[in-house]
Structure 1
Amino acid sequence: MKTRITDLLGVKYPIVQAPMGWIARAQLASAVSNAGGLGIIETSSGDLDAVRAEIRLMRELTDKPFGLNVALAFVRDPDIVSFVVDQGVKFVTTSAGDPMKYCDALKAAGLTVFHVVPSLRAALRAVEAGVDGLVVEGGEGGGFKNARDVSTMVLLPLVCERVGVPVIAAGGIADGRSMAAAFALGAEGVQMGTRMVSSMESPVHANWKQAILDAQETDTVFLNRMGPGPALRALRTEKTTAYEIDGGAGARDEFKTAQALYFGGDMEASIALCGQVAGRIDEIKPVAAIIDETMAEFEAVMATLARRFAPEAANV
């Protein structure tokens, strides 16, 4: 399959793994890259020594392309551009901040740069900054969000109608059916977060994976809508339900104990970021199976739609 995304990233399939803090490291990212997608290593945890080690490990585990994410709101090192360039990666996503900040410097170093956007306004600013492409993220996705959330169904076609750069769709993507919907709305690639958190190679504790399998489509909460700082979408637990009731202004402080949940399995120790698509996930699978099944279903859905609704075009 060829799109502008596969060409720019040098991958077999236009499927990208979301850059989740502490989770998007070599164990998971290498599985994605080896399966034909693009694994991403995170920097949002702030531990650049650990990130450097993960990148070295990544190169031992795969010879396929991979990328790095810079979450601008969490940058602690003022020389982050040099850090990224020194890692020898060719693709970087920036997120959670102003794309103008580092785009020129990253591109001057020869990197391909995509920026994650939650609104049309943010998309237009990123294009003005000179990015090579966008990750358009709907409000149903997990993680830190724009407080004025817009669903993928509305945001994706809105942005695709107004920009000429290639777009990766994020938020609500878990399989070939949702990938086909994203392509119908203008995307040329997709990003998966919650689906990858619940994969076999994901490093998170089994309790978190099981919570995703058990979740209904209504079992996420949207916290801190009124600020200060970004909002976030997470799994519903006793802790996050309490924050939902009181507005969630202190929710970010919970990430000081995130690793007790992420890797210790105490689901009330912190906050488990998660998208609404958890309601559609009911099995833990290897990353390779997820990607292979996604592509097979995507092709089957597109072919079925063509036969049913555009038979003349399907026969050309």
Structure 2
Amino acid sequence: MPAKPVKTRITDMLGIEKPIIQAAMGWIARSQLSSAVSNAGGMGIIETSSGELDAIREEIKKMKALTDKPFGVNVAQAFVRDPNIIPFIIDQGIKFVTTSAGDPMKYTATLKEAGLTVFHVVPSLAGALRAIEAGVDGLIVEGGEGGGFKNAKDVASMVLIPQVCEAVSVPVVAAGGITDGRSMAAAFSLGAEGVLMGTRILSCAESPVHANWKDAIIGADATDTVFLNRAGPGPALRALRTERTSRLEKDGSPNIFGEFAGTQDVYFGGNLEAGIALTGQVAGRIKEVKPVAQIFEETLEEYHRIVAALPR
């Protein structure tokens, strides 16, 4: 029997069955994975941070063939190479966009004028207030324990999510440390109305990444990630602890982007020492590779159990 639904402003606004959004992981968040997320009742997101817009156009076509459920596209502004990316997204008929890694003032008005719903990813209260000023429809509030590119002045989800929720009226999606119903219940108690999963979906059965990366996540402790490049130049990031990233943690790098030259070998070749495998601390709580639909059903079932068992 399917888990009891969880209805929030997020599910109503986005037209999804479950208040779960998938992280927009470069090269990974494409039709194979994102359609599985949408078909399981969540919000699948297609990435553009790879800069491969011709490939992304084909992935969007594949998405439309693989699912009749809602899906969106992410614009990671720091990685945008093509100034026509916004007209490109509008022309694809996309209705939901997440923007990140940049100023929300840059694209929000244009996207909203075209009738799209826009959520901006923020790592701080100041960033949230800037996004509200830009006119976004919602926020993805990302704690520093999450994987990927981060604010060097990181704030944990337990502090950041309620801080933002107390200051804004738009719906908030919690990101960073979310992997199951227990963490979803915690996020909702802090004021969120949806959650974003990155590392949990990265390690799911439908994820296209190499089994070596998934196995490393399954075998990881919560201390088996590193926070790199806090002092710059370039962005900070959280990644899986390997010999390479442990060395970078100690010695730093003059060019953090140069460390991603071996990305394809890491992601799809399984050589975790060839570059950087972006991974969140929540890897320490993930113990099994499962299909997305099973992850989502178990998340909602556990959410209801946890909420019902809370002291009155």
Assess same fold via TM > 0.5: yes
Q: Following superposition of structure 1 onto structure 2, how do residues 142-221 of structure 1 map, counting pairs within 5 Å? A: 142-221=147-226
Q: Which of residues 237, 240, 243 in structure 1 aligns to 2:242?
A: 237
Q: Which amino acid aligns with 1:198?
A: S
Contact 1:175–1:297, Cα closer than 8 Å, also in 2: yes
Aligned partners of 1:249 and 1:176: how far apart in 2?
Answer: 40
Q: Following superposition of structure 1 onto structure 2, how do residues 3-14 of structure 1 map, counting pairs within 5 Å? A: 3-14=8-19
The alignment yields a C-alpha RMSD, in angstroms, of 0.7
Aligned partners of 1:39 and 1:249: how far apart in 2?
Answer: 35
1:115 equivalenced with 2:120 (yes/no): yes
Contact 1:223–1:249, Cα closer than 8 Å, also in 2: no
The equivalent residue for 2:3 is none
Shift of 1:249: 4.0
**3-state SS of 1:63 partner:** coil
Deviates more, 1:193-202 or 1:239-248: 239-248
**3-state SS of 1:168 partner:** strand
Where has structure 1 moved over 4 Å in runs of 4 or more? Answer: none
Q: Following superposition of structure 1 onto structure 2, how do residues 286-297 of structure 1 map, counting pairs within 5 Å? A: 286-297=291-302
Question: Unmatched 5+ residue regions in structure 1?
Answer: 311-316
Aligned partners of 2:85 and 2:54: how far apart in 1?
Answer: 12
The equivalent residue for 2:65 is 60
**3-state SS of 2:244 partner:** helix
Q: Which amino acid aligns with 1:291?
A: F
Aligned partners of 1:248 and 1:28: how far apart in 2?
Answer: 32
The equivalent residue for 1:93 is 98
Query: Deviation digits for residues 136-195 of structure 1, max 9, x if unmatched?
Result: 000000000000000000000000000000000000000000000000000000000000
Query: Deviation digits for residues 176-230 of structure 1, max 9, x if unmatched?
Result: 0000000000000000000001000000000000010111100000000001121
User: Which is helix-richer, 1 or 2?
Assistant: 1
The equivalent residue for 1:314 is none
Query: How many percent of aligned residue pairs carry the same amino acid?
Result: 71
The equivalent residue for 1:36 is 41
Shift of 1:248: 3.8
Aligned partners of 1:188 and 1:27: how far apart in 2?
Answer: 27
Contact 2:233–2:255, Cα closer than 8 Å, also in 1: no
Aligned partners of 1:249 and 1:235: how far apart in 2?
Answer: 20
Query: Deviation digits for residues 45-100 of structure 1, max 9, x if unmatched?
Result: 00001111001001111000000000000001111110110111100000000000
TM-score by length of 2: 0.97
Aligned partners of 2:247 and 2:254: how far apart in 1?
Answer: 11
The equivalent residue for 2:273 is 268
Contact 2:223–2:281, Cα closer than 8 Å, also in 1: yes
Q: Which amino acid aligns with 2:139?
A: L
Aligned partners of 1:148 and 1:273: how far apart in 2?
Answer: 18
Contact 2:233–2:256, Cα closer than 8 Å, also in 1: no
Aligned partners of 1:254 and 1:67: how far apart in 2?
Answer: 29
TM-score by length of 1: 0.96
Q: Which of residues 131, 137, 154 in structure 2 aligns to 1:132?
A: 137
Aligned partners of 2:124 and 2:250: how far apart in 1?
Answer: 26
Q: Which of residues 23, 26, 37 in structure 2 aligns to 1:21?
A: 26
Question: Unmatched 5+ residue regions in structure 2?
Answer: 1-5
Aligned residue pair count: 307
Query: Deviation digits for residues 99-130 of structure 1, max 9, x if unmatched?
Result: 00000000000000000000000000000000
Aligned partners of 1:72 and 1:54: how far apart in 2?
Answer: 20
